[in-house]
């Protein structure tokens, strides 16, 4: 078998989609294929070919992603797939290695992805950088605490999502500035959020929306669907499936949650991806009623240590020498001195003895500020030579709020 690797052309889109559907075991509706195609950057999309047959794929979106301190260019890795007939033949490794080299040559110091299987990407230097929560909340037990914020000036407006896109975009742009992991959305990305074909509905009816606003303008929105249902006694047991909820201040946020929890004929609210530090945890009088499930969200790869570490801000002063282990990116595999305070950072090669030795995946896990490092030391992933160096680095890289991307890419 002779394999070749190269960027694909737009004319090869049909073959690309075939690999995607086979690798993930899904049938992608035509309108979703078109949205995917419009988001795809073909010059950043790689394919492995067995002769003329496309057998493996991966692609990169050019994102502006928020990190601690503000947005930076980030490569959003997507569509990583190999035909089942060509697994265990080095196809995935060749794609991921070439992609890292391309990212480095383009000057993108950081890459991020959503992992279909969490066990895969640690092999390529990615670390679990953000978590999300899944909620299933019984509405009958969803009272708020007495300190829940209220603003009498706020009101709710029910809208058709297609008619309020510009409002959603404006609110999201403001929310984007506050949380690491969120990324700027292109028009095609918004098309994907608001598409409302029958195949998007999953039996839960049309996309619905409500906006929280005052006389000064919109302050938040929620997007959701409602799957109507009644039990054998004709009692309503509908499920509200929350797609997105962004509030720009505590009162707007609380009011939007109060709306989705108080919808008539709904017995449960299901939210598939919420931040790990979602304020709702502290708004519910009985937080156990969240029935929360903890999952991984973003995985991050530091492609270029020297450029990535100074590109973000730090919560506390740090001065450590880190020996980075990186088998796939040899330009990273050496000792680096990171010095930083709250005004900025510098990272440079160093010949001084290492305070810490760690795989590059640890820097990826900590990069967005949401992964304390003590557990990685306890697990033997990190080796500490200078006592206290790990705590110093972990404290400096921590950030509030917790990272979260909110929308799979």
Active site residues: 121, 409
Q: Which residues contact 361 (CB under 8 A, 6 or more apart)?
A: 122, 125, 126, 127, 301
CA distance 211 to 248: 11
The stretches of 86-134 forming alpha helices (DSSP H) are 91-106, 118-121
CA distance 219 to 33: 33
Q: Residue written as tokens 């200078």?
A: 386
Which tokens is 225 given? 């669907």
CA distance 75 to 72: 10
Q: Which residues contact 367 (CB under 8 A, 6 or more apart)?
A: 67, 110, 127, 129, 300, 302, 308, 312, 397
Q: Which residues pair with 185 in a beta bridge?
A: none
Contact between 213 and 203 under an 8 Å Cβ cutoff? The reply is no
Region of residue 361 (left: phi > 0; alpha: psi -120 to 50; beta: else): alpha
CA distance 41 to 19: 17
CA distance 399 to 177: 14
- List, in sequence order, every beta strand (DSSP E) within 9-52: 45-50
β-pairing verdict for 110-113 and 127-128? unpaired
Which tokens is 56 given? 């493996």
């Amino acid at each position: 078998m002779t394999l070749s690797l190269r960027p694909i052309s737009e004319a090869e889109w049909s073959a690309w989609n075939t690999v995607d559907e086979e690798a993930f075991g899904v049938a992608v509706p035509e309108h979703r294929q078109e949205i995917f195609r419009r988001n795809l950057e073909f010059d950043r999309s790689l394919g492995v070919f067995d002769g003329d047959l496309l057998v493996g794929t991966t692609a990169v979106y050019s994102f502006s992603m928020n990190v601690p301190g503000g947005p930076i260019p980030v490569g959003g890795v997507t569509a990583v797939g190999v035909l089942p007939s060509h697994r265990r033949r080095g196809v995935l490794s060749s794609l991921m290695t070439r992609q890292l080299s391309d990212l480095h040559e383009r000057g993108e110091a950081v890459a991020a992805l959503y992992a279909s299987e969490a066990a895969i990407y640690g092999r390529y230097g990615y670390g679990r950088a953000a978590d999300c929560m899944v909620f299933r909340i019984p509405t009958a037990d969803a009272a708020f605490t007495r300190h829940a914020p209220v603003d009498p000036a706020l009101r709710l407006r029910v809208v058709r999502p297609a008619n309020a896109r510009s409002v959603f975009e404006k609110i999201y742009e403001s929310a984007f500035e506050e949380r690491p992991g969120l990324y700027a959305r292109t028009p095609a990305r918004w098309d994907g959020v608001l598409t409302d074909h029958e195949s998007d509905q999953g039996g839960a009816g049309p996309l619905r929306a409500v906006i929280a606003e005052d006389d000064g303008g919109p302050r938040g929105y929620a997007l959701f669907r409602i799957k109507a249902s009644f039990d054998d006694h004709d009692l309503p047991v509908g499920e509200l499936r929350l797609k997105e909820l962004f509030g720009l201040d505590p009162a707007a946020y609380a009011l939007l949650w109060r709306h989705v929890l108080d919808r008539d004929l709904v017995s449960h609210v299901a939210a598939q991806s919420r931040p790990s530090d979602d304020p709702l945890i502290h708004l519910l009088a009985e937080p156990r009623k969240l029935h929360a499930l903890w999952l991984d969200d973003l995985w991050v790869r530091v492609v270029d240590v020297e450029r990535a570490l100074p590109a973000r801000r730090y919560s506390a002063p740090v001065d450590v020498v880190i020996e980075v282990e990186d088998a796939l990116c040899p330009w990273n595999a050496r000792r680096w001195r990171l010095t930083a305070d709250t005004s900025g950072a510098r990272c440079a090669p160093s010949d001084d003895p290492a305070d810490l030795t760690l795989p590059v995946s640890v820097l990826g896990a900590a990069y967005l500020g949401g992964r304390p490092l003590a557990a990685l030391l306890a697990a033997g992933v990190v080796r500490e030579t200078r006592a206290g160096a790990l705590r110093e680095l972990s404290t400096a890289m921590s950030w509030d709020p917790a990272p979260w991307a909110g929308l799979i890419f």
